[in-house]
Every structure is written in structure tokens, then in C-alpha cells.
Amino acid sequence: MSNTLHVFSNEQELLEGMWPTPLLKLRIGKDVWGKLEYYNAFSRSVKDRTAWFLFKQALINNSTQIVEATSGNTGVALAALSAIYGIKFTMFIPIVAPKVYKVLVKILGGSVIEAGYSTNDIIPLAKKFAELSNAINLDQFNNPLNIIAHYETTAREIDEQLKSIGKTPSRIIATMGTGGHIAGISKYFKERYGDNIEIIGVQPSKDSRIPGIKRQDGKNSLLEGIKIDRVIDINLEEAIDGVLTIARTSGILIGLSAGATVAAYKKLKGDDNTTVLIFPDDIFKYVDILEQTLKEI
Ligand code: PMP
């Protein structure tokens, strides 16, 4: 169990002891909050939660090798957990994904296979590779444990954190990659508050690339039967503007997908409702991309 002095006798305690992650009141509106998912201990992203729920499945199955397709953060989290438990880990990742994820997975002792241009390209490759090498493919894109992880942790935390100050959320704005965290959050809040809460999904606009998230134009099994009230398209420049806004008001350094939630918030009318933005990770993996753009600002 965690305690307030943060002493942990093993890594599982450390992982779960970082929950709940902080909910910070932002200065960009009257009642708007950021859920700081970079407080997760391993990938320093929201994906620690998904990875841990999926990883427990591999432990139950006594798996000795894990293969996963990922845009990056899930790979880092799974590589960390695999290192702790002595399991072999292979990550499939798009060629175009930021290099930092590939370096981090290698540092953690994992193997990296680069292929294709989006996660859609590598999902079948990872599946096939797992079959051929007698490994388990946890398949975060189709595994309901990805939803359950966020239903049980991310969503419940937000609800309890806001309740502790006498609030219930009216809007939650979240980005979409696998769709796991928005699905868990939507399911949790719609079950309890119905349409009193609006779930707003954020995706990259056409021809724009924002690491970790993708356009939901294909079939997404995790989002089947999940209500997303509105989807907002954000381009990379708008996401960067969101990062700068939070840096220059709250002094915190959020990642690009987090910046996209800020950009979506700015596009929405009406400022009085309690709004929560999910900040999946922080800036440090994307400094190269920001440096490029800042030169032009
Ligand atoms: N932002 C970042 C930085 C991510 O790594 C991810 C996960 N791919 C997401 C957002 C989207 O999260 P999810 O997979 O739960 O939709």
C-alpha cells in the first residue's frame, strides 16, 4: 500500500501507489481541470493503467513472451513491467512514431520492430508474430481490459476527486488512440450521470499527425456501444498552441495530445460547466517536434 511519505516495497506498489494521479485546476477557464497522467510511474503516461491491466492477463497465463503493437507509450509501460517480471517483450511500432519511444523500450530491455505508417498497419503483424513465436499478443486495440482499466481507475478517480470538492463533471475532453481511456471514462460516467455529462473525443485532423492519437475513421471495437457525444478535429499547430497555453498559464509541461484537449476546449463555447481535460503525458518525448515548430513562431 502507498502511504503519504511514498515508500514502496515493490514496483507494483509504486505503480498503483501513484494513483490517483493529480487533478489540477487550470487557469484557462472558470471551472476546468487537468488530469495529470504523466504522474504514472513507468511510461509516465496514461498507458501505465492499460499496460498493467493487460499485463496481469499475461501473468495469469504464465506467458514468457509478450508482443504488442503500439504507438509508443503502451510499449514503454509493457517493457518496464516485462523487465520487472523477467518476461521477453517485443514492440511493433510505426516507422514514423517518435524515436524516443524506441530508445526507451530498448533501454528497458525490450526488442523493437519498426513497420508501417500507423498502428493499423502493425496490429496484424504483431498478431502473426505472436502466433509464430508462441508469445501472447495482449492486443490493446481489441482487449476489453483496456476499457476496464480506465473504468476502474482513471474514471473512478476523477469522479471521487471532484466529489471531494462537491462537484460533478459536465464535460470530459479526451483524445483517442486505441479509444481505451475515453471508452472507460464514457462508460463509467454515462452509467452514473447519463447525458448530464458530455463526453468529447479529440482526434487529429485529416493530414495532421499528433503522436499517440489517430483518426477514428476505421472500425474500433473498443468504441462499439460507447457514447462519444462529440468529436473535435485538432491539427498539430493547434495542439502545440494548447501546450504553450498551459505552459504559460499553469507552468506545467504537457504533451502534444494533452495540448490537443486544450485546443478542443478552446473551440467549445460556454465556459461555466465543470470540465475535465485528460492530459495523457508530458512534453519531454516531443521536445524535438516542438523545437521545430517554435523556430517558426
Ligand atoms: N495520448 C498519448 C500520448 C498516447 O500515448 C495515447 C495512447 N496511444 C493516447 C493519447 C490515446 O489513449 P488511448 O489509447 O487510451 O485512446
Structural domain count, the chain? 2
Q: d(Cα 277, Cα 279) in Å, to the nearest integer?
A: 6
Q: What is the pLDDT of residues 160-213, one digit of tens each?
A: 999 999 999 999 999 999 999 999 999 999 999 999 999 999 999 999 999 999
C-beta of residue 45 within 8 angstroms of C-beta of residue 73: yes
Residues 201 and 214 in one domain: yes
268 pLDDT higher than 50: yes
Q: Is 201's C-beta closer than 6 angstroms to any atom of ligand 1?
A: no
Ligand 1 atom nearest residue 178's Cα: 14
Q: How far is the CA of 74 from the centre of ligand 1 (A)?
A: 8
Q: Is residue 2 part of a domain?
A: no
Name residues whose C-beta falls within 8 Å of residue 229's C-beta, 6 or more positions apart in sequence.
Answer: 195, 198, 199, 200
C-beta of residue 69 within 8 angstroms of C-beta of residue 122: yes
Letter for the amino acid at 218? G
Supply the range of the domain harboring residue 223.
11-45+144-293
Residues 185 and 279 in one domain: yes
Q: d(Cα 277, Cα 272) in Å, to the nearest integer?
A: 15
| Protein residue whose Cα sits closest to atom 10 of ligand 1 | 212
Q: Is residue 225 part of a domain?
A: yes
- Which of 257, 282, 283, 284, when mutated, tests ligand 1's pocket best, judged by the most ligand atoms within 8 Å of its CB? 257
Q: d(Cα 22, Cα 126) in Å, to the nearest integer?
A: 34
Q: What is the pLDDT of residues 205-237, one digit of tens each?
A: 999 999 999 999 989 999 999 999 999 999 999
* pLDDT confidence band for 1 (50 / 70 / 90): very low
Q: What is the pLDDT of residues 58-117, one digit of tens each?
A: 999 999 999 999 999 999 999 999 999 999 999 999 999 999 999 999 999 999 999 999
Q: Is 40's C-beta closer than 6 angstroms to any atom of ligand 1?
A: no
Q: What is the pTM of this model?
A: 0.97
Ligand 1 atom nearest residue 179's Cα: 16
Q: Is residue 182 part of a domain?
A: yes
Residues 105 and 150 in one domain: no
295 pLDDT higher than 80: no
Q: Is 122's C-beta closer than 6 angstroms to any atom of ligand 1?
A: no
